[in-house]
Amino acid sequence: MRSPDSGSEMEEIFSALRFAADKHRSQFRKGEEVSPYINHPIEVAELLVRVGGVTDASLLQAAILHDTLEDTETTAHELDAAFGPAVRRLVEEVSDDKSLPKAERKRLQIEHSPGLSTAARQIKIADKICNVRDVTSKPPRDWPMTRRVEYLAWAERVVAACRGVNPKLEEEFDEVLAEAQVRLATERPV
C-alpha cells in the first residue's frame, strides 16, 4: 500500500538528489575510474534502501546530501532553508569539522559515533561500506597498500562505534570488510 504521503516524499528525495548533483557537479571520486562524485551519495542511499530496508525520507535525503557540507561550498543555512532543520541536523551529524587536522577528524569520528542519532549511525555505516568497497576495488591512484590497509582498520573501528542500529547493514559491512581484507592480503606485495 502506498502511504498518502509517498508522493511528497518522492519529491523530497528527488529534490535532494538534484541539489547534491548540482553541488558535486564538478567533482570526481579519487579512484582510477574517475567516476562523477554524485555516484557515491547515490550508492550510499541505494544501499540504505536495498540492504538496510530504510524508508524514512529525511534519512534518505540526508544520505544523499551527506558530503555536501564537508566537500562542497554548501552551508548549513542553505540545507536548512531547502530541506528543513531535521535533514540539516542529520547532515551536520555525519560531517567532520573541517577546521581540524585530518588525523584529529578521523579520531573524532570514532569517539563521537556512539553519541550520534540512530539515523546518523546508519548513514555512517552505509558510507563506510561504499568506501571500503572503493578502497578495495578502485583505490585512489596515489594510495599505497599501507594506506588502504589502514583505512580498512579505521573504518572497522568507526562502524564498531555505530553498531546496534541496523543488523542487515552491519552484516553487510562485516561481509564487505572480510572480502576486502582477503583481497588486499592477496594483492599485497611480498
Distances (CA, A) of 58 to 74, 111, 161: 18, 25, 23
Q: Of residues 9, 71, 92, 150, which has the active-site annotation? A: 71
Q: Of residues 9, 46, 70, 96, which has the active-site annotation? A: 70
Q: Which residue's Cβ has the minimum distance to Zn ion?
A: 127
Q: How far is the CB of 189 from Zn ion (least distance, A)?
A: 29
Task: Check residue 127 for interaction with Zn ion (CB under 5 A).
Answer: yes
The full DSSP string for 15-36 is HHHHHHHHHTTT-B-SBTT--B
The answer to whether 63 and 119 have CB atoms below 8 angstroms apart is no
* Residue 183: partners with Cβ closer than 8 Å, 6 or more residues away: 136, 137
* 70 counts as catalytic: yes
Beta bridge partners, 67, equal none
Q: How far is the CB of 127 from Zn ion (least distance, A)?
A: 4
Place of cell 599505497: 144
Q: How far is the CB of 54 from Zn ion (least distance, A)?
A: 16
Q: Of the listed pieces 16-24, 64-72, 102-110, 153-161, which binds Zn ion according to CB under 5 A? A: 64-72
The site that binds Zn ion (CB under 5 A) totals a number of residues, namely 2
Interacting residue ranges for Zn ion, rule: CB under 5 A: 67, 127
Q: Which are the catalytic amino acids?
A: 70-71
